[in-house]
Structure 1
Amino acid sequence: MLSALLLIPLIAAMMTCLLPQSLPSSRFRSISVVVLTALLGLSLSLVVNFDPHVGGMQFTEQLPWVDWLGLSYHLGVDGISLPLIILNQLLTLIAILSSPDKLERPRLYYSLMLVLNLSVTGAFLSQDLLLFFIFYELELIPLYLLIAIWGGARRNYAATKFLLYTATSGIFILAAFLGLVWLTGASSFDYRVLAPGTLPLASQLILLTGLFIGFAIKIPIFPFHTWLPDAHVEASTSVSVLLAGVLLKLGTYGLLRFCVGMLPEAWSVAAPVLVIFAVISVLYGALTAIAQQDMKKMVAYSSIAHMGYILLAAAAGTHLSLLAAIAQSVSHGLISAMLFLLVGVVGKKTGTRDIDKLCGLLNPERGLPIIGSLMIVGVMASSGIPGMVGFVSEFLVFRGSFPVFPVATLLCLVGTGLTAVYFLLMVNRVFFGRLSDVVMNLPPVQWGDRIPALVLTVLLVVFGLQPNWLVRWSDTDAARLVPPVAVAQLSSAVDAPSFPSANP
């Protein structure tokens, strides 16, 4: 079943490349929609058969591959990766649905989207360090081309910057993986045969530093963040949806899986330093977002701030905070995808994303009333309004982190308040007031532009009202991640009980 999640997009991408280039763009999009719908259905079937009360990997598949190198084809899924796999399938489908009707070189575009989906899914499924690295680097190629070919005016600069940063990230990660295998004397890169906990603490800290820098670039965490705003501004709407919603989660997943999961002792020692990076990322991202005039750039800096919450939760290392880190990854993916979708519609219909040039788009006759209403919902979710999934995930982050890092948690709470400030500034200027002369006679918004955002709106509300549907899959595996040190002892005394499988 797991191999099918990789083989279906691979075969579909290869078949798409063989189709005549003369076919209309809509035909290529229809084929991709069918493939992604099948992948989403297959991913949801994993949920049906997944036992959330059994910790560890399920549906495992393993075949020998390159024995002399220690590389095996080993796949598995647990409560950490399952929500992210479903998120990847959903947002890739939404990204394809939101792609332009008329697109240059559609055969290449949709083939790259399928390869991107394959590489991200493969990284989440990999149970071999080297196999994870292969998929981690594979996603670099399609994303670089998607930005460089279909991006904005400065697309070459943004794509090259993304390439350099991501390649640097891969160098640090590969060096740490090789160091793990060499220092432990393991015969392969398989998770099960590695015992990094037996290494001296100094060695563990060196390895952790390499892994943290590599994944911090991908998340991104201050000061490794500068590639993200450029990539978002120049990327198309569909690519921004995947970049913020899914690809950044490779960094948070790696942080939880490899840094916390494989080097818990070193992680506990380094946590007081790492939490400083989390606070800086939250406050810097929020304050910088306030100063932006481009709506898309504002949402991009908002992503930097909200990804800092995940580092705060991971650094705290309690059961509840680690569960919150997984929930915040999914929550941010849904919210950021919705915001980028709506900003893309506004930019396409008005011809600008400049906040100073837009006004009164909630006008029911000549504005974008439905898009504006959905934007308000997305802003409310990002600001942590109760009843939305953003409130659930951020509350869990703060509740789980406060007993360990009370000052850092309170400073990050300030970031939540700043989120409301910059998004309210944007909504007030762009959607309220008298309709600007610059955006008179707007073209009508088709339902194809509304439906993806409506689907995400439903999910934001459903998971906000019933958070157990989101967190129950990860509860057991989050408990297994808790470092067996003093932080864990403190968490056992103050954490709320784990989420039971209860009726709504």
Structure 2
Amino acid sequence: MINHLLLYLFLFPLLGTVILIFVNENKLNTLKTIAAITTGIQMWIIVQLIFNFDTNIGYLQYVEQISWINLLNIDFIIGLNGVNLVFLTLSTILFFTAIFINWKERYHQKSFYVLIMLLNTAVTGLFMSYDLFLFTVFYGIALFSTFLLITLFTEKSNGYTAGFFTFCALTSFCLIIIGVLLINNQAVSYSFNLYALAQNPSILSNIQTSGFYIFLIGFIIITPIVPFQSWYLGAIETAPTSLAVILLALIPKIGIFGILNILLPLFPQSTFRFAVLFGIIGSLNILYFAFTVFSHTDYRKIIGHFTGFSTALIFIGLSSIISGRLQQSAATISGLNGVVIYSFSSALIIIGLLLIPKVRDHITNLAAEPPSNRWVAVFMLLMVLASAIGLPGFLNFIGQFLCLISAFHHWSTAVMSLLAMIGLVLVGIKFFRIISDTIHQNNQIQFSIKENEISFEFIVLPIILIFLFFLGIFPGAILQFINHSLRDIATSLTTL
């Protein structure tokens, strides 16, 4: 059974989606139970994958290769390395959490659970795909599912938000298709096999520059960064918290994963040559999002812009690739480790940030009670906000530190790293204002929460904080899984 765990991880959400389609929409408990059981089984499979994963090797594990479309030489290839494992773990946690946060919602729940499970299936398949055609199929399904969720569950769906997301999604999807076709045209003998192509990137030497920019633009459109951020900022203003978790914590990470898993391995020459571009993108977006976080008073908008800030910091980590010019592969490896760790930790902390309005509401309701009755809620709010900006002891600090310190090894990216620190200061000031506003009941920050919108917040929040604290104290627990895979990427980038 262990040999097929990866296949089961993909098939269970697919099966759950099919079952949910045939359940009567009035049977809310049945819908919720099926979704919870499905994602719960996925969590169990992820645990099995983690405990049976060999951390001493960098090549693919749990590989499944099934002949699919023989005429086009397309296979169903899935596999797992350390980077995939982290992103699969993240997506499984996010979907599992979103199901329970949404537990008390009562309207249009069949549509919500069917689409969430369809998106779950697509993202799970995407994070384990090692055939470019298969990756593109899952990528398209993920974007389509996201479009339907935004259309059905955000109040601004009939206007600018859904329209701009449609433009971004279609543009991104078309660019990825064009890139895949270019690759296939250059490497006919390798077909769409991503792993084989990554082992022989010289085959793509004629399209190194064009392929790099096509995939880079395709992925950053959906990441999203300026000027493509409007769709998700508009969507989260009215989206239910469970959907906001997916839009803010997961969708941007798909673009980051694409850069790590496709762009860097297939186009190492151009990645190395244009590495400073990652730093430019990161620093410009850090300044923009830091100032917007600092200026807003609406809490949802603050968290939306903080998501953009976190994504920009990841690009600073990617800019460490430029250190290869100084033959400092250790700096590149540290930067890539920071990218993966911060992608994981920032996504989890966004869950906590989105749950804060409910925690704050609880604190407000206990305002007349003795302070001892509300210290737990205040402490959790304090820890979430402090860890988000990099409180030492939490995993977010490790990710931020690795991204910033690795960028310091080259003078050009060192300047960008300093700009990132200025941005962190601005974000930190804003977050401490939120803490002060909550403690003193000033109501300068606008919090909005609908009845029954959030459930199980006092279970989810402590688990997330304990998990991030444990990994922050023992970062080796996650580094051991990703270091070999990222070392292989860094080696290919610094030995050109």
TM over 0.5: yes
Greater displacement, 102-111 / 148-157: 148-157
1:332 positional shift: 0.9
Residue 331 (1) aligns with residue 336 (2): no
Q: Measure, in 2, the Cα distance between the counterparts of 1:119 and 1:98.
A: 21
What corresponds to 1:467 in structure 2? 475
Q: CA deviation at 1:481?
A: 0.8
- Supply the AA of the counterpart residue of 2:386: M
- Given that residues 201 and 265 in structure 2 are in contact (C-alpha distance below 8 angstroms), is that contact kept between their aligned partners in structure 1? no
Does residue 1:213 correspond to 2:217, yes or no?
yes
Secondary structure of the corresponding residue to residue 53 of structure 1: coil
Structure 1 partner of 2:397? 391
**Structure (1 or 2) with the greater helix fraction:** 2
Indicate if the aligned counterparts of 1:55 and 1:477 stay in contact, CA closer than 8 A.
Answer: yes
1:81-96, aligned counterparts within 5 Å?
81-96=84-99
CA distance in 2, matches of 1:100, 1:460: 24
TM-score of the pair, normalised by structure 2:
0.89
Q: Report the AA paired with residue 476 of structure 1.
A: H
1:401 aligns with 2:398: no
> Per the alignment, in what secondary structure is the counterpart of residue 456 of structure 2?
helix
Q: Tell me how far apart the structure 2 counterparts of residues 446 and 160 of structure 1 sit (CA, whole Å).
A: 28
Q: Indicate if the aligned counterparts of 1:166 and 1:218 stay in contact, CA closer than 8 A.
A: yes
Match of 1:268 among 251, 268, 272: 272
Residues 29-428 of structure 1: pairs in structure 2 closer than 5 A: 29-153=32-156, 157-194=160-197, 195-200=200-205, 203-317=207-321, 318-343=332-357, 363=367, 365=369, 370-404=376-410, 405-428=413-436
1:47 Cα deviation after fit: 0.5
Seen in structure 2, the aligned counterparts of structure 1 residues 9 and 424 have a Cα distance that, compared at 3 Å, is same
Given candidates 12, 19, 25, the residue that maps to 2:16 is 12
Amino acid at match of 1:9: P
State the SS of the aligned residue for 2:65. strand
One-letter amino acid of the counterpart of residue 431, structure 2? F
Q: Alpha-carbon deviations, 1:405-450, whole Å to 9, x = none?
A: 22111211222212202212222224434679x99xx999997232
CA contact (8 A) 1:55 1:480 kept: yes
- The aligned residue for residue 502 of structure 1 is none
Q: Report SS of the residue matched to 1:80.
A: helix
Cα offset, 1:69, TM superposition = 2.3
Q: For 2:369, what is the secondary structure of its paired residue?
A: coil
Q: Deviations over 1:450-480 (max 9, x none)?
A: 2112221211211111111122110111101
Give the equivalent residue in structure 2 for 1:355.
none
For the residues of structure 1 that align with 2:420 and 2:456, how far apart are their CA atoms?
A: 37
Q: List gaps (5 residues or longer) in structure 1.
A: 351-358, 490-504
Which ranges of structure 2 fall in alignment gaps of 5 or more residues?
Answer: 322-331
Measured at CA, do residues 119 and 199 of structure 1 come closer, stay the same or move farther in structure 2, by a change above 3 Å? Answer: closer
Q: Percent identity?
A: 24
Shift of 1:286: 1.0
Are the aligned partners of 2:240 and 2:453 in contact in 1 as well (CA < 8 Å)? Answer: no
8 Å contact from structure 1 (residues 84, 330) kept in 2: yes
2:437 pairs with one of 429, 432, 438: 429
1:148–1:156 CA contact under 8 A, matched in 2: no
Using a 3 Å threshold, how does the CA distance of structure 1 residues 178 and 380 change in structure 2: closer, same or farther?
A: same
Distance change >3 Å, CA 31–CA 444, structure 1 → 2: closer
SS of 1:62 mapped into structure 2: strand
Provide the secondary structure at the position in 1 that maps to 2:296.
coil
Contact 2:212 2:267 (C-alpha < 8 Å) held by counterparts: yes
Once the two structures are TM-superposed, the CA of residue 102 in structure 1 deviates from its matched residue by: 3.7
Distance 1:214 1:368 in 2: 47
SS, match of residue 146 in structure 2: helix
Check 1:197–1:419 CA distance in 2 against 1; reply closer, same or farther (3 A cut): farther
